[in-house]
Each structure stands twice: as structure tokens, then as C-alpha cells.
Amino acid sequence: MTDSSRFVLTIALLPLLSGCIVKTAAETAVDVVSVPVKVASAGVNAALPNQKKADQKRGEELRKQDEQRGKEARATAERCQSGRPLPTDNCMAAQAPPAR
């Protein structure tokens, strides 16, 4: 291969090489731009509580409160039926059938 044919081949291949270089540069630019966004979103996710966990915790609290109200209602009804109500017991409400 002569020097002139090598030169022509090199010139002919330059557009192909520049496409690779441009693609690589574009991918690098996208990575550089997206890294701060990824870091910021990870920080936000770590700082804020998980909504699902918060919902589960609130549900557990509500169930515990409901259980406590049920225990108190059963104890009130039992005291009223046995004829030994406390001064704070509302026997009329305890004897009423539960609302549905």
C-alpha cells in the first residue's frame, strides 16, 4: 500500500471514527448530567420515610385503638349486666345492639 492510498483510506475512515467519538462524548455527557439527579433522589429517598411503612404503622395503631375500644365496651357491658356499673359507664349505650 502506498502512502497516498493510506492517506485516502484514513480520510475515508474519519467520518466513521468521529461518529464513535461523538456517541461516546454524548453518552458521557448524559452520565455526567444524570449522576447529580440520581444522587439527589437517593438522598431524598433515604431522608423521607417510606410511605408504605408509614401506612402500615398507622394501620397498626388504628387496629390497636379499635381493640382497646372493644375491650372497654365489653367490660362496660359486663359491668352493666351484672348490676355493678361504674359511675362513668353509660349502661344505656352498652345495652343497645351494635350499629351496623
State the Cα–Cα distance between residues 70 and 79, nearest whole angstrom.
14
SS in 3 state form for the chain? Answer: CCHHHHHHHHHHHHHHHHHHHHHHHHHHHHHHHHHHHHHHHHHHHHHCCCHHHHHHHHHHHHHHHHHHHHHHHHHHHHHHHHCCCCCCCCHHHHHCCCCC
Rounded mean pLDDT, 81-88: 86
State the Cα–Cα distance between residues 34 and 45, nearest whole angstrom.
16
Q: What is the pLDDT of residues 2-57, one digit of tens each?
A: 776 666 666 666 566 555 555 665 566 566 667 677 777 777 666 666 788 888 99
Place of cell 462524548: 25
Give the pLDDT band (50/70/90) at residue 65.
very high
